[in-house]
Amino acid sequence: MTNNKPELPQPRIEPASITFDQYVEFTPEKLELSDGYLGYSGQDQVGFH
């Protein structure tokens, strides 16, 4: 059995691009908003961004 997952992008000091395969593998399919916010309205989102 082979693992065809792309390599995780590594954090760097300078910005670096990712491949399309990395984008497809590691990006959620959709983001659900509640009252215009990501997550639940009562949740503390400080530090999320």
At 19-47, the pLDDT tens digits run: 999 888 888 777 777 677 666 555 565 65
Average pLDDT over residues 4-14: 87
Domain of residue 18: give its range.
12-43
In a domain, 4, yes or no: no
Residue 32 contacts residue 40 (beta carbons within 8 Å):
no
Please state the domain count of the chain.
1
Cβ neighbours of 30 (radius 10 Å): 6
What is the rounded CA–CA span in Å between residue 45 and residue 38? 9
Q: Which residue has the higher pLDDT, 2 or 35?
A: 35
In a domain, 33, yes or no: yes
Whether the full predicted model's pTM is greater than 0.75, yes or no, is no
pLDDT at 14 over 90: yes
In a domain, 49, yes or no: no
pLDDT at 9 over 80: yes
In a domain, 2, yes or no: no
pLDDT at 4 over 60: yes
